[in-house]
Chain A
């Protein structure tokens, strides 16, 4: 009898200790992600396609650092040369967008992302982007890009993603703009040439703010409300209008950057569709 009591008490003690220890375990990537990272299968497409003018492929993907956890299962695999701070910032930005919740959703948002909120945004990203590589800013000043001809599931980020100072909403806009280029529809939502002349509401030529070169005739516009400009605009405008757990700054930023994108939707039907969706 005494022995049974002792055994029972020890078992209880061990169970309690196990519970405490088990919950302290660090996060580990999901099994399928670990497999893809360890055998490099996630890079198979990229190797066979070969780079055109893109960064050289890196032979193996690095595991996501333990202190660099992404929300849920959205963590992509990273090439070995992607710096830890860049991985971390992308994780934090996706974690931010993953927390958002909203009281309403516009019809076009519903069509593109589903209900307004973090789960929809994380699903949109993780369904499209499985790999992240490092882009060489010195070759071309690109913050982020998807090169569908090489791998539609891979996003390239340059160091500029963390080295420049932008509102968090601006980084999210870039990430979701590029994620849209991962879709096979409409040639990966390829941009159309901006009209020539291309003028703003004040009748002035639209110029590249970086170099002062006119945008007229350059492939920097969209003719659909569902392309990269339209979809990220609709996402941001829904955040501005309906987010229930955003700071005032985030909602203000979302409105600012969304409104700025509208100029790039040059087809009048597409603009009207967006106006009816998120500006009425």
Chain B
């Protein structure tokens, strides 16, 4: 009889151990080798004062299920998953797969955007440019994200030529169909922000050029000349938003 009870106890303990091992854990231990930016993100949000803590905890898996850091963006399971993917994503194909995963999640606050796409190889950049050309024009955020990541890895003339091409590209005419302008006049305030979205890939290219110029001109900033060329290309964009932004940046950073 005692043996049977002991057996039940052992089974129960095993079950409990299994559950603890698989649940979204508490914070990482000190041995967790997270990159610094992810570590900053480990600060769980403050408890919502009007929410029962048990409910707050219960809502956490929502983001996880969707492949996105949910309310508990810093939970260690999600970060472990992110870290393992970063480690694995060394080949160009794996980098592309990781990019696809992030784009699919529609989560712009995925920490891997900051950590997993630095120092891309020439082959990976070529794959990303091919990805850019494959995406439908209406995928404004996805296109802009690819440009944003390539903009963090500008090294060769090939890299800069692509950015100039993006900056001078024909404008997207509407979010539903880039090839045709919307027929119906919406509420005047509905279009707020749409200008940026329609021009988003080119705007991402311009913001990278601006970031480079912020470092100042001269021999300490070898990319400044390339950045100014990009801005000059964007000034000829058929998109008023892009041309105006380029003119504003040029006014601020070009030498008299």
**Which residues of A does B touch, CB under 8 Å?**
2, 5-6, 9-10, 12-14, 16-17, 19-20, 23-28, 30, 67-73, 88-89, 91-92, 95-96, 98-101, 117-119, 122-123, 140-143, 145, 160, 163-170, 173-174, 177, 191, 194, 200-202, 204, 207-213, 215, 218-220, 228-229, 244-250, 252-253, 256-257, 260-261, 264
Contact mask for chain B residues 38-80; partner A; CB cutoff 8 A; 1 contact, 0 none: 0011010111111110011011011101101111111000000
**In contact, A5 and B193 (Cβ under 8 angstroms):** no
17 A–B pairs (Cβ distance < 8 Å), ordered by A: A27-B59, A71-B71, A96-B68, A164-B175, A167-B108, A169-B108, A173-B193, A174-B193, A177-B192, A191-B189, A218-B188, A219-B188, A229-B192, A247-B111, A252-B207, A257-B193, A260-B193
Hey, which chain B residues are within 8 Å of A252, CB to CB?
148, 207
Q: Contact size class for B?
A: 35 or more
With A6-B1, A141-B182 known to touch, is A260 a contact of B61 (CB < 8 Å)? no
CB-CB contacts below 8 Å: B176-211 with A? 176, 181-198, 200, 203, 207
**In contact, B244 and A141 (Cβ under 8 angstroms):** no
With A71-B62, A73-B55 known to touch, is A99 a contact of B109 (CB < 8 Å)? yes
**In contact, A261 and B175 (Cβ under 8 angstroms):** no
**CA gap between A96 and B62 in the complex, in Å:** 11
**In contact, A12 and B55 (Cβ under 8 angstroms):** no
**In contact, A261 and B193 (Cβ under 8 angstroms):** yes
Chain A CB within 10 A, most for which of B47, B109, B175: B109
Q: Is B106 an interface residue (CB 8 A)?
A: yes
Smallest CB gap from A200: residue in B? B244
**CA gap between A99 and B45 in the complex, in Å:** 6
Q: Which of B2, B12, B62, B181 is close to A211, meaning CB atoms less than 8 Å apart?
A: B181
Hey, which chain B residues are within 8 Å of A68, CB to CB?
62
Hey, which chain A residues are within 8 Å of B139, CB to CB?
165
**In contact, B244 and A202 (Cβ under 8 angstroms):** yes
**In contact, A95 and B194 (Cβ under 8 angstroms):** no
Q: Which of B141, B144, B176 is close to A160, meaning CB atoms less than 8 Å apart?
A: B176
**CA gap between A183 and B5 in the complex, in Å:** 62
**In contact, A13 and B59 (Cβ under 8 angstroms):** no
Q: Is B6 an interface residue (CB 8 A)?
A: yes
Q: Which of B8, B186, B196 is close to A260, meaning CB atoms less than 8 Å apart?
A: B196
Hey, which chain A residues are within 8 Å of B255, CB to CB?
none
Hey, which chain A residues are within 8 Å of B51, CB to CB?
72-73
Hey, which chain B residues are within 8 Å of A164, CB to CB?
138, 140, 175-176, 197
With A210-B186, A249-B108 known to touch, is A20 a contact of B15 (CB < 8 Å)? yes
**CA gap between A118 and B198 in the complex, in Å:** 28
Q: Which of A16, A69, A119 is close to B13, meaning CB atoms less than 8 Å apart?
A: A16
Contact mask for chain B residues 238-253; partner A; CB cutoff 8 A; 1 contact, 0 none: 0011001001100000
**CA gap between A165 and B184 in the complex, in Å:** 20
CB-CB contacts below 8 Å: B216-256 with A? 240-241, 244, 247-248
Q: Is B23 an interface residue (CB 8 A)?
A: yes
Q: Which of B66, B138, B207, B240 is close to A165, meaning CB atoms less than 8 Å apart?
A: B138
**In contact, A70 and B46 (Cβ under 8 angstroms):** no
**In contact, A98 and B192 (Cβ under 8 angstroms):** no
Q: Which of B47, B174, B181, B196 is close to A170, meaning CB atoms less than 8 Å apart?
A: B196
Q: Is B97 an interface residue (CB 8 A)?
A: no
**CA gap between A198 and B116 in the complex, in Å:** 44
Hey, which chain B residues are within 8 Å of A169, CB to CB?
108
**In contact, B70 and A95 (Cβ under 8 angstroms):** yes
CB distance from A249 to the nearest CB of B (A): 5
**In contact, A70 and B59 (Cβ under 8 angstroms):** yes
Q: Which of A12, A26, A98, A168 is close to B107, meaning CB atoms less than 8 Å apart?
A: A168
Smallest CB gap from B239: residue in A? A209
Hey, which chain B residues are within 8 Å of A215, CB to CB?
188
CB distance from B163 to the nearest CB of A (A): 16
CB distance from A203 to the nearest CB of B (A): 11
**In contact, A166 and B140 (Cβ under 8 angstroms):** yes
Hey, which chain B residues are within 8 Å of A2, CB to CB?
1-2
Hey, which chain B residues are within 8 Å of A249, CB to CB?
108, 113, 145, 148
With A165-B175, A170-B193 known to touch, is A99 a contact of B69 (CB < 8 Å)? yes
**CA gap between A29 and B196 in the complex, in Å:** 37
CB-CB contacts below 8 Å: B1-44 with A? 1-2, 5-6, 8-9, 11-13, 15-16, 18-19, 23, 40-41, 43
**CA gap between A245 and B17 in the complex, in Å:** 32
A95-B63, A142-B190, A209-B191 given; 19 more Cβ-contact pairs under 8 Å: A5-B2, A19-B16, A26-B58, A30-B52, A72-B71, A96-B107, A140-B186, A166-B197, A167-B141, A177-B189, A191-B189, A200-B244, A201-B244, A202-B247, A218-B188, A245-B109, A248-B113, A248-B114, A256-B196
